[in-house]
Structure 1
Amino acid sequence: MTAHAVRLETAGASVTVVSSERTVTDWSARYFGPWWKAAEVPSESVCAGAVVTAAVDTSQYDDVAFAVTQAPHTSTEYARAQLLLARDVSAGTVRAVSPKQALAYRSEPGAGRLDVFGCHTEDVATATARLAREMMRGQLLRDGWAVLHASAVVDDDGRTVLTLGNKGAGKTTTALALAASGGYGLLANDRVFVRPNDRGGVDVLPWPSAAALGLGLLRALGWIAEVRERLAAGESLHPTQDGRVTEAIREGDCTPIWEGGKELKAQVFPDQFPEWFGVPLATEGEAAALVFPRIDREAVPAVEERERSLSDRDFMSGATEDRYPDVFGLLGMDGGGAVGARREVARLLAELPHHSVVLGHDLAENAHFLSGLTKGCA
Structure 2
Amino acid sequence: MISATRVQAASAAVTVLSNRTEVTDWARRYFGPWWAASAVEASSVCAGPVVVATVDPTELAALTLQVHDGRPAEEVEYARHRMLVARDGEDIIAASPDESIAYRYTASTGRLELSGVGVMELALAAARLAREVVRGQLLRDGWAALHASAVVRPEDGATLLSFGGKGAGKTTTALLLASAGWQLLANDRVLVRPTGERDVEVVPWPSAAALGLGLVDSLGWGAAARGHLQEGGAFHPTQHDSVTEALLAGDFTPLWEDGKRRERKVQVFPDQFTPLFGVELATGGRAAGLLFPRVEADGSPDIFDGDQGLGLREDDFMSGATEDRYPDIFELAGGVDGGGRLSARDEVSVRLAKMPHLRVRLSHDVPTSVAALRKAAEAI
Question: What band does the TM-score fall into relative to the shorter chain?
Answer: over 0.9
**C-alpha deviation, 1:111, in angstroms:** 1.7
State which of 256, 259, 269 in structure 2 corresponds to 1:258: 256
Query: What's the % identity of the aligned pairs?
Result: 52
Which residue of 2 is the match for residue 319 of structure 1? 321
Which residue of 1 is the match for residue 24 of structure 2? 25
**C-alpha deviation, 1:80, in angstroms:** 1.1
Structural mapping, 1:228-377, within 5 Å: 228-260=226-258, 261-304=261-304, 307=307, 309-332=311-334, 333-377=336-380
Q: CA RMSD in A?
A: 1.3
State which of 103, 106, 129 in structure 2 corresponds to 1:105: 103
Q: What secondary structure is seen at the aligned counterpart in 2 of 1:271?
A: helix
Q: What secondary structure is seen at the aligned counterpart in 1 of 2:185?
A: strand
State which of 178, 189, 209 in structure 2 corresponds to 1:191: 189
Structural mapping, 1:124-139, within 5 Å: 124-139=122-137
CA distance in 2, matches of 1:347, 1:243: 44
Q: Is the 8 A contact 2:318 2:324 kept in 1?
A: no
| C-alpha distance after superposition, 1:204-244 (max 9, x if no partner) | 01000011100000001111111111111111111111111
Letter paired with 1:342: R
CA distance in 2, matches of 1:123, 1:250: 25
Q: Is the 8 A contact 1:177 1:364 kept in 2?
A: no
Which residue of 2 is the match for residue 5 of structure 1? 4
Q: What secondary structure is seen at the aligned counterpart in 2 of 1:70?
A: coil
Letter paired with 2:352: L
CA distance in 2, matches of 1:369, 1:3: 52
CA distance in 2, matches of 1:193, 1:365: 31
In the superposition, the TM-score normalised over structure 1's length comes to 0.96
**C-alpha deviation, 1:375, in angstroms:** 2.7
| C-alpha distance after superposition, 1:308-342 (max 9, x if no partner) | 65222211123225421111121112111101100
CA distance in 2, matches of 1:319, 1:311: 13
Which residue of 2 is the match for residue 178 of structure 1? 177
CA distance in 2, matches of 1:77, 1:302: 41
Range moving further from structure 2, 151-160 or 325-334: 325-334
CA distance in 2, matches of 1:196, 1:85: 35
Q: Is the 8 A contact 1:202 1:345 kept in 2?
A: yes
CA distance in 2, matches of 1:321, 1:296: 24
CA distance in 2, matches of 1:69, 1:203: 44
Distance 1:295 1:356, change over 3 A: same
CA distance in 1, matches of 2:69, 2:165: 43
Q: Is the 8 A contact 2:305 2:358 kept in 1?
A: no
Range moving further from structure 2, 18-27 or 106-115: 106-115
CA distance in 1, matches of 2:213, 2:249: 12
| C-alpha distance after superposition, 1:136-173 (max 9, x if no partner) | 00000000000011000001110000000000000000
Distance 1:288 1:129, change over 3 A: same
Range moving further from structure 2, 15-24 or 256-265: 256-265
In the superposition, the TM-score normalised over structure 2's length comes to 0.96
Letter paired with 1:330: L
Task: Point out where structure 2 has 5 or more consecutive residues left out of the alignment.
Answer: none
Letter paired with 2:329: V
Q: Is the 8 A contact 1:71 1:86 kept in 2?
A: no
Letter paired with 2:35: W
CA distance in 1, matches of 2:305, 2:143: 32
CA distance in 2, matches of 1:365, 1:110: 55
